[in-house]
Amino acid sequence: MAAGSALGVLLYLGKSGPVKLVSILCTCYIEAIRNTPLLVQLYLIYFALPSMGINLNPIWAALIGLTLNNAAYTAEIYRAGFESVPKGLREAGKALGMKPVQIVRYIILTPATRNVFPALTNQLILLFLASSIGSIISLPELTNAIMTVSNTTYRTIEVLTVGGLLYLGVSALMSVASKRAETTLFRWAVGTHV
């Protein structure tokens, strides 16, 4: 999530930046990733790259695939957040003599992150749930373990029910932790409508 979010911010900045070629490339990347299934992306990374001499173990293939996929979605989440910051704040930063990097860091990024924090939390939970797709490429994660137990015990309904409850429990904990983090990190914003 951290790597995908950082790459997502860079993709958004490239897409909305003044360099036309970079903007086109970032837009094409975002649209290509968002409009193809994650499973196909993982297959390409895990099965197609070896034909070009790049062999990745399942953990690295899943990390790269999930990061690249997440970056496209967080770029669009940050686009909404950045565009929600009033232009008057940017103009005020320029009037105060702030450098463009300072304007982005202090005036745009903080309120934008606050505005998109719930959407980023949702993306984190979706990313956690999407990690189950990694079981297709033999990633040793929860779904893989669930299927191994199911195949060993032949108690499919019970094992899948417990697995679903585990996913539900972790997702619920992430949601609660996010709400607490939001009230702690953005305490300064209580009562404001930025």
Which domains, from first to last, does the chain contain? Answer: 2-189 (1.10.3720.10)
Q: What is the pLDDT of residue 109?
A: 82
pLDDT recorded at residue 166: 94
What is the pLDDT at residue 194?
A: 45
- The answer to whether the pTM exceeds 0.75 is yes
Non-local (6+) Cβ contacts of 4 within 8 A are 66, 67, 68, 69, 70, 71, 73, 74, 127
Task: List, run by run, the mean pLDDT of 10-residue segments along the chain (194 residues).
Answer: 92 92 96 95 94 92 95 94 88 91 85 88 92 86 89 92 94 92 74 50
**Which pLDDT score is estimated for 189?**
57
